[in-house]
Structure 1
Amino acid sequence: MRVMVIGAGAIGAACALALVEAGADVVVVDRAGVAAETSSRCEGNILVSDKAPGPEADLAILAHTAWRELADRLDADRAPGQPATEFEAKGGVVVAFDGGAEALEAFAGAQRGIGIRAEALDAAQLRELEPHLSPAVARGIHYPDDAQVQPSLATQAMLARARRFGARLLLTEVTGAQIGSGRIVAVDTAEGRIGVDAVVNCAGPWAGEVAVRLGSRLDIRPRRGMILVTTPMPQRVFHKVYDGDYVGAVSSGDAALQTSTVVESTDAGTVLIGSSRERVGFSASAALPPLAEIAAKATKLFPFLADTMLLRTYFGFRPYAPDHLPAIGADGEVAGLFHAAGHEGAGIGLAPTTGALIAHAVLGAELPLFGGKPFDATPFLPTRESLRAAA
């Protein structure tokens, strides 16, 4: 089966890998390059800590296990000179200042009910895990299953493996599609027309635009996020540490600027500081206000950061679905068209399970098991009423 995957970010690479391992003839098309956009402008989160009970939490729990196996496989079979994924099971610590501890514990209690490990920490235990935290932090929750990859490297590794199995990469832009009897039969690109049996739209924040070019519609919107990077230093942050406000920002539908504190160290000695969310289209302007808010909140959480020099800042556009669930599965209007988009900040973490769901939708491959049963992909279908209604 000839399958085109549009987008060479983490989701596209994971889908290409799952499809080619299931026997498809895969071509990956991207206008900019591997991990050239969102997947190189994020933190590489593999989180369960920010997921409330529901379909996305189930997908994240499944992905948490899948990433450990996938990272081992990618790192073990990488070609000479190819970098590792830098997978790190560092765990997460979610904290609350005075007044927020009760809500933090209630959220963790609900997560424990679906099997997420969430360990309550008092002030003394917090300092054992993170000795440089502000003394104003009252309570915390330790999530030992939170993890991290270097997102660009992990994306490159997934696509490199897919190409070793026969997938091809074409750098060009999709311009349209040929539809025959309601089914997509070819895709037009800047390099010419390519015949296909199926197409998977993994174009991230541009997935809505690509859907229109292919004769359909998908309500995926860009949501801008910014990150600060310090100069290298001796390690003083030992987990992914974030304020409980982050969970609310993730689930909010507000278009206005929202910032919350996320701080973590990297293998290179730098500290990554986030995060912001705002819907400003694809605008690159007015970057200073979110950067200033992020910096102010980070120094409240880790006071030593006030005297730390910044190396750089960067931003990316995340694919936002108005009902806060990614769209994974068959299009409702064009036969042979599938979507895997709308993961917003969870795309890296949910990539391998998204690939498995797409391989099932396109090729009929077996679904991954969850709780001893095939995983229920119904809540993520692009045809769901909550996504259509939001549009």
Structure 2
Amino acid sequence: MSSYDVVVIGGGIVGAACAAELAGRGRRVALVERGRVASGTSAHCEGNLLVSDKGPGAELELSKLANAAWSKLSGSFREELGDDFPDIEFEAKGGLVVATTDGGASALLDFAATQRTADVAAEPVTISEARRLEPWLTDRMTAAVWYPGDSQVQPTIATEALVALAHLRGASILEHHEVTGALRDGGRLVGVRTTAGDVHGRDVVVAAGPWSGEVSALLGAPLPVRPRRGVVLVTAKMPQRVFHKVYDADYVGAVGSGDVALMTSSVVESTPGGTVLIGSSREQVGFDDAFRANVLSELARKAISIFPFLTETAIIRSYSGFRPYMPDHLPLIGADPRLPGLWHATGHEGAGIGLSLPTATLIGDLMDGAPTQIDATQFAPSRPTLAAELEAVA
């Protein structure tokens, strides 16, 4: 019988970050993954570390902590893992948000003004200044805002690095352990049943991304986490023509929308390997991963509206993934008042890569009973904005 201080469910980047953080604080940790680590959502996304898409509020506060945490990790992870570990490709490249209509320009500039009240560097730039940053931009641009705080990381390698850090710090990595139910002692959760045997732990953290709704239901405390599908296009390699993270002003509205129908906006960026990634789409179709040509054509059309040179560029592949959507658009971080011993670190939707590190720090501080860097009640399962949703899934 395996027994630990903490069982973390989910081998994506949020679970890996929690396992590394808690093991680093001296806890005996098991990271439980139903397949292979870094094989789900964290391997099917772009690796965005953004402040530019969030208005003032709790998630923006967490994002500001995230940028500092990733910058620190990028300079220190090899101190533990050694120089032979692959680079996580952290790039503090900055982001440029552009509008191509008068209405879009007004909305973009107004949104940037609200962000500046929250101490975000959101700098309106002239069309000529924008073109100096991105010479290949469309002539139809009507406004642009520069965000020096936007960054990028290679999400799969970053996840693998956090798993390796967790293991080096003493965590057990239990792959091919699918959770099938709860272990209880009286009214307290004391571990999980899995397809490979029981795993006991004083505390259990659900960090299963878009599958967190299913996992939490198996444990007896359902969550309103739903999958939201996103698709990314990948171009052939080319000489670099995109130098920052560039997206159209529609992206912010798509991030904050609860619409279940297909929504697309243009997000374009280069990779160190010479390809260009083109997103983004959002649709609630359950876990249906069927190929949809209309989604790809919409992504291509909107990307061309920002960078016309892409008309002549070959697309070599596409990939899709599922993001953990929460109805109130806030991550779920903290102890579940319905079931002692149960914790949550999920619901980040498309921001999970960036927010993984401060989420893990919050979980660690809360478990330690220590002061948190920001107000953790904003993300608590007991927050008022979730009351009706929790009642609906109970």
TM-score range, shorter chain: over 0.9
Partner in structure 1 of residue 33 of structure 2: 30
Q: 1:358 aligns with which of 350, 359, 363?
A: 363
Partner in structure 2 of residue 372 of structure 1: none
In structure 2, give the amino acid aligned to 1:160: A
Partner in structure 2 of residue 46 of structure 1: 49
In structure 2, give the amino acid aligned to 1:65: A
Asked if structure 1 preserves the Cα contact closer than 8 Å seen for 2:7 and 2:191, the reply is no
Question: Could you say if the C-alpha distance between residues 75 and 94 of structure 1 is closer, same or farther in structure 2, counting changes exceeding 3 Å?
Answer: farther
Partner in structure 1 of residue 292 of structure 2: 287
CA-CA distance at 1:286 after TM superposition = 4.8
CA-CA distance at 1:77 after TM superposition = 3.3
Task: Please state if 1:120 is matched with 2:124.
Answer: yes
Task: Please state if 1:18 is matched with 2:21.
Answer: yes
Task: Please state if 1:275 is matched with 2:280.
Answer: yes
Asked if structure 2 preserves the Cα contact closer than 8 Å seen for 1:219 and 1:388, the reply is no
Question: Could you say if the C-alpha distance between residues 286 and 85 of structure 1 is closer, same or farther in structure 2, counting changes exceeding 3 Å?
Answer: closer
Taking the aligned partners of 2:308 and 2:45, their CA distance within structure 1 comes to 24
Q: 2:164 aligns with which of 137, 160, 164?
A: 160
Taking the aligned partners of 1:365 and 1:148, their CA distance within structure 2 comes to 30
Partner in structure 1 of residue 86 of structure 2: 83
In structure 2, give the amino acid aligned to 1:211: S
Partner in structure 1 of residue 208 of structure 2: 203
Taking the aligned partners of 1:89 and 1:194, their CA distance within structure 2 comes to 40
Partner in structure 2 of residue 143 of structure 1: 147
Asked if structure 2 preserves the Cα contact closer than 8 Å seen for 1:78 and 1:84, the reply is no
CA-CA distance at 1:76 after TM superposition = 4.1
Partner in structure 1 of residue 190 of structure 2: 185
Partner in structure 1 of residue 387 of structure 2: 388
SS in structure 2 at match of 1:197: strand
CA-CA distance at 1:137 after TM superposition = 0.8
Taking the aligned partners of 1:35 and 1:77, their CA distance within structure 2 comes to 20
In structure 1, give the amino acid aligned to 2:145: I
Asked if structure 1 preserves the Cα contact closer than 8 Å seen for 2:91 and 2:151, the reply is yes
Taking the aligned partners of 2:199 and 2:140, their CA distance within structure 1 comes to 59
Taking the aligned partners of 1:274 and 1:75, their CA distance within structure 2 comes to 31
Asked if structure 1 preserves the Cα contact closer than 8 Å seen for 2:190 and 2:204, the reply is no
Task: Please state if 1:221 is matched with 2:226.
Answer: yes
Task: Please state if 1:105 is matched with 2:109.
Answer: yes
In structure 1, give the amino acid aligned to 2:116: R
CA-CA distance at 1:182 after TM superposition = 1.1
With normalisation by structure 2, the TM-score equals: 0.96
Runs of 5+ unmatched residues, structure 1:
369-374
Taking the aligned partners of 1:344 and 1:300, their CA distance within structure 2 comes to 26
Asked if structure 2 preserves the Cα contact closer than 8 Å seen for 1:127 and 1:133, the reply is yes
Taking the aligned partners of 2:81 and 2:197, their CA distance within structure 1 comes to 32
Consecutive aligned runs of 4 or more in structure 1 exceeding 6 Å deviation? none
Asked if structure 2 preserves the Cα contact closer than 8 Å seen for 1:328 and 1:340, the reply is yes
Task: Please state if 1:246 is matched with 2:245.
Answer: no
CA-CA distance at 1:74 after TM superposition = 1.4
With normalisation by structure 1, the TM-score equals: 0.96
In structure 2, give the amino acid aligned to 1:376: D
In structure 1, give the amino acid aligned to 2:24: E
User: RMSD over aligned Cα, in angstroms?
Assistant: 1.1
SS in structure 1 at match of 2:344: strand
In structure 2, give the amino acid aligned to 1:256: A
SS in structure 2 at match of 1:192: coil
Taking the aligned partners of 1:15 and 1:195, their CA distance within structure 2 comes to 17
Taking the aligned partners of 1:169 and 1:112, their CA distance within structure 2 comes to 42
Task: Please state if 1:378 is matched with 2:381.
Answer: no
Q: Residues 29-77 of structure 1, C-alpha deviation per residue, up to 9 Å, x if partnerless?
A: 0011111010010000100000100111111111111111122111443
Taking the aligned partners of 1:331 and 1:287, their CA distance within structure 2 comes to 38
Q: Residues 239-270 of structure 1, C-alpha deviation per residue, up to 9 Å, x if partnerless?
A: 00000100000000000000000000000000
SS in structure 1 at match of 2:191: strand
Taking the aligned partners of 2:306 and 2:79, their CA distance within structure 1 comes to 38
Taking the aligned partners of 2:325 and 2:386, their CA distance within structure 1 comes to 11
Q: 1:337 aligns with which of 324, 329, 342?
A: 342
Taking the aligned partners of 2:385 and 2:363, their CA distance within structure 1 comes to 20
In structure 1, give the amino acid aligned to 2:115: Q
SS in structure 1 at match of 2:81: coil
SS in structure 1 at match of 2:7: strand
